Structure 1
Amino acid sequence: MRKGLFWFLAVVITLGSAVFQRMTGPTHPLRGKVVVEGTEVAFKLPRSAETVRDAEVAVPAPAPLQGYLEYMRFKTEDAWARVPLARQGDRLVGRLPKQPAAGKLAYRVLLSGGYLTTPIAGEDPVIIRFKDPVPVWIIVPHVLVIFAGMLLATAAGLAALDKKRNPRRLVLWTVALLFAGGLVLGPLVQKFAFGVAWSGFPLGMDLTDNKTLIAFLFWIAALLAGRKGKPARPFVIAASLVTLLIFLIPHSLLGSELDYSKME
């Protein structure tokens, strides 16, 4: 395989998996369209917010549409609170009260033209999670290093499929980048965002932490199998496939979650 095609495939596969993971994650804004009494409304509802301010929920909705916002703390017996949406030009705007780090609210946006009331996202509530601000000097290196690790993991797998290439050097770089991005910078990001550096095995069930750990262990196995310069192709291919598959799991699934019962 030519070098240009080799890296083109590696970049395309990595970008595709990264975009899919991000777009399908539970903290990515919920998008959709709904017809409210003859008026089509396209919405984008937030599912992630910072603890430093109330979360704005805005819906493009021309007059005479009006509506309100219902919310409650997630996984509690709280009664639903209801606040009217305020009109700001062609938008209806409401705010959800800020929560502690890892706190979640369940909420619904309901619109009406004067006759019928429509929950725009359906009957199931939208879940929004709050996090503390993460410094740019942590989040940017984390994202870049993790992406580089995913890219080289893919490249190593492609190299292992090509008998003319020895994936050993790519394996070494993949291990280093996954360690730095996933097991050093990743916990720092989580510590800033939620106050806990690690909530995967054996301390918890955070899927992002656990999938990073699994990928890293597979690459350690490939690294050990390739001692003395051996290509260890089956191990590298297995590690590359596992990495690709687990990074297709939506980001932040089963992530940190505040237990409100422990605050009362």
Structure 2
Amino acid sequence: MKSEARAGGTGSSRLREALLWVVAVVLMVSAAGYQRHTGPSYPATGQFLVGGYSYEYELVRNELTTRDARVAIPDTEESVTGTLVYKRFRTDDDFVEAPMVAEDGELVGWLPAQPPAGKLEYFIILDTPTGRIPIPDEFHGNVVIRFKDPVPLFVLLPHIAMMFIAMLIGVRAGLAAIFSPGPMRRLAWASLVVMTIGGLVLGPIAQKYAFGAYWTGFPFDYDLTDNKVLLMWLVWVGACVFIGLKSKGREGMARLAVVAAALVMVIVYVIPHSARGTELDYELLEQGVPPSEALKSGREG
């Protein structure tokens, strides 16, 4: 009877551990989807009406410095012409107007490539038989696009993968602290190690490739992505130092520390990636400052 009870308990424990991993995976996947759809590089989407029909569009907000940015909307074929209107972001430049051309069922225009972290703001004017239509409309404002240098996949992919794996393990550590503390320490330290490599080693390397600077967060500037990674890392360092590698007889506080670190991690991942990120200061650039030194961070937009 004892062996049967022990076997039943083992099965129940394994089921609980599996369920906790499922919950952690769901949270990680949800965070990845949220980051993708809320970040400033996700296309600006919307609809416009011509001739009583509704057309959906996606406007690019992220492009490489090695090529001009292609801007395209559906061609309504209703005697409609389009004009792409743009200027450098946060400057007093006059807007430039460029006619769009019909191409494979779309009206297409091109934005000139910018230096790393350079931004343009733009919108489209449609001239229709019933009048002019701005895209996006006045309520949504102009679209902002940021340019970056190419980042090698051998840096970018491990960086992204490790940041989400760190979240997966960290959330799982938090769940373990609440429901099944056996593997809590092992998971907490594993999350910290993966986070350190992905966020504080590969992250700055990826940013150096993209924008020419390794770090634009505290104490040098106010890049929100850098700062939130730093905050998350410091919280997990504190939690891991507190819990140690072995139990010290204060398990209640140790479990609370891990839960708190996991909550901070979730909050950090709710903040859109690249919000208030690095951008090129065109005024400094025109003063002769090299692009890699003419970077500003922490500004909205």
Residue 255 of structure 2 aligns with which residue? Answer: 233
Percent of counterpart pairs with the same letter? 43
Q: TM-score, normalising length from structure 2? A: 0.85
Alignment partner for residue 70 of structure 2, among 56, 76, 86? Answer: 56
1:71-123 CA distances to partner (integer Å, 9 max, x unpaired)?
00000000000011100131000000000000000000121323311112112
1:194-229 CA distances to partner (integer Å, 9 max, x unpaired)?
001100101111111001000001100110111251
1:20 aligns with 2:34: yes
Distance in 2 (alpha carbons) for counterparts of 1:207 and 1:115 = 44
1:19-45 CA distances to partner (integer Å, 9 max, x unpaired)?
112210111111111213423121000
Structure 2 portions without partners, runs of 5+: 1-12, 287-301
Given that residues 138 and 185 in structure 1 are in contact (C-alpha distance below 8 angstroms), is that contact kept between their aligned partners in structure 2? yes
Residue 68 of structure 1 aligns with which residue? Answer: 83
Structure 2 matches for 1:91-110, cutoff 5 A? Answer: 91-110=106-125
Structure 1 portions without partners, runs of 5+: none
Alignment partner for residue 114 of structure 1, among 122, 129, 133? Answer: 129
Whose radius of gyration is greater, 1 or 2? 2
Distance in 1 (alpha carbons) for counterparts of 2:166 and 2:245 = 23
Matched positions, count: 264
Residue 5 of structure 1 aligns with which residue? Answer: 19
- Structure with the bigger RCO (C-alpha within 8 Å, sep 6+) is 1
Distance in 1 (alpha carbons) for counterparts of 2:266 and 2:25 = 13
Distance in 2 (alpha carbons) for counterparts of 1:103 and 1:120 = 22
Task: Measure how far apart 1:166 and its partner are.
Answer: 3.9
Task: Measure how far apart 1:163 and its partner are.
Answer: 4.4
User: Aligned Cα RMSD in Å?
Assistant: 1.2
Distance in 1 (alpha carbons) for counterparts of 2:207 and 2:53 = 42
Secondary structure of 1:229's match?
coil
Distance in 2 (alpha carbons) for counterparts of 1:182 and 1:66 = 46
Distance in 2 (alpha carbons) for counterparts of 1:83 and 1:3 = 59
1:189 aligns with 2:187: no
Given that residues 69 and 110 in structure 1 are in contact (C-alpha distance below 8 angstroms), is that contact kept between their aligned partners in structure 2? yes
Q: TM-score, normalising length from structure 1? A: 0.97
Residue 216 of structure 1 aligns with which residue? Answer: 233
Structure 1 segments (4+ residues) deviating >2 Å: 36-39, 163-166
Given that residues 18 and 248 in structure 1 are in contact (C-alpha distance below 8 angstroms), is that contact kept between their aligned partners in structure 2? no
